Amino acid sequence: MESSDTARRKPHRGIYLLPNLLTTGGMFAGFYAIVAAMAGHPSDAAIAVFVAGLLDGLDGRVARLTNTQSEFGVQYDSLADMVSFGLAPALVLYTWSLSTLKQYGPMAGKLGFAAAFVYAACAALRLARFNTQVGVTDKRYFQGLASPAAAALTMSFVWAAADNGHAGGDRLVQIVAPCIAVLAGLLMVSNLRYFSFKAAPHSSERVPFVAVTAVVLVFVALYIDTPLVSFAIASLYAASGPVLTLWGLRQRRSRRAEGARGEEPPVS
């Protein structure tokens, strides 16, 4: 009797293959982005980070659809995200542009290094905070810019600039690159609210016709100029956080004001 109870309590060994295989593919893409940047191919590095983002979006959904979620998968996905969306974008930005700031002197070189480190450190903090809030926060929103979105913002900038003939050592790029790195990092650790799109309607539910039209227009725009449109979309999403947060604060203040007026005694 005791042996059968022990067998039932014994944890299952092994891991689920499919979702963790997708996670490994995403980490491979992030590692490839670092190598491509070191080899002087910033566009290839940026595209690799986008591939990592695609695989990151698939692994969780596959795990839920196939009922293969596990604590190991959660931790492994977080470590892979640190490589693909934390270290890879920071190193791509540093190798491509931020390292060129040292031509203006030792202090400028340190500022470029600091900007890359701020991004990487904020990505680590963002992922750690997300792991501690799983199952607690509202799934419709992210607290702070998600690391894949921050990576999309920085890498779409690199991709768009390189695609339009701008080198990392161009003066304008040298000004914008550290600003984007620090801004993306601070947005990740901020308390701003972002739509997570995890509560999107199912395929069987109806959506407004204008939504389908908008999707078609986005696909057409991406076909015309993928890097630039990707940067525009990533920038709009990054800007949506402050807008959504301010709108929510205004709504709460309006409800409080209405409640205060409702509690006032009637004038005789």
pLDDT band at 247 (very low <50, low <70, confident <90, very high): confident
The DSSP element (H or E) to which 50 belongs, if any, is helix 42-65
- Return the pLDDT at 140: 79
Polymer length of the chain: 268
Q: Which domain holds residue 235?
A: 16-198+207-250
- Region 116-125: what's the mean pLDDT? 96
At 23, list the tokens: 């996670």
Question: Is 126 in contact with 108 (CB distance < 8 Å)?
Answer: no
- Return the pLDDT at 118: 97
pLDDT higher than threshold 50 for residue 214: yes
- Model pLDDT for residues 32-64, shown as the tens digit of each residue: 999 999 999 999 999 999 999 999 988 878 877
In a domain, 113, yes or no: yes
In a domain, 80, yes or no: yes
In a domain, 259, yes or no: no
- What is the secondary structure of 25-41 as a DSSP string? HHHHHHHHHHHHHHTT-
Of 6-10, 44-48, 220-224, 254-258, give the lowest mean pLDDT range.
Answer: 6-10
Tell me which residue of 124, 19, 121 sits closest to 79, measured CA to CA. Answer: 124
In a domain, 257, yes or no: no
- Return the pLDDT at 17: 73
Which domain CATH number covers 58? 1.20.120.1760
In a domain, 58, yes or no: yes
In the block, tokens 């003939």 appear at: 165
- Model pLDDT for residues 75-114, shown as the tens digit of each residue: 888 999 999 999 999 999 999 999 999 999 999 999 999 9
φ, ψ for residue 143, nearest 5 deg: -95, 105
In a domain, 105, yes or no: yes
- Return the pLDDT at 11: 47
In a domain, 155, yes or no: yes
- Return the pLDDT at 142: 85
- Return the pLDDT at 14: 60
Residues in a beta bridge with 142:
194
pLDDT higher than threshold 80 for residue 260: no
Tell me which residue of 237, 140, 225, 139 sits closest to 184, measured CA to CA. Answer: 237
Strands (E) in the chain, as ranges, are 141-143, 193-195
For the entire predicted model, the pTM comes to: 0.84
In a domain, 140, yes or no: yes
Domain count, the chain: 1
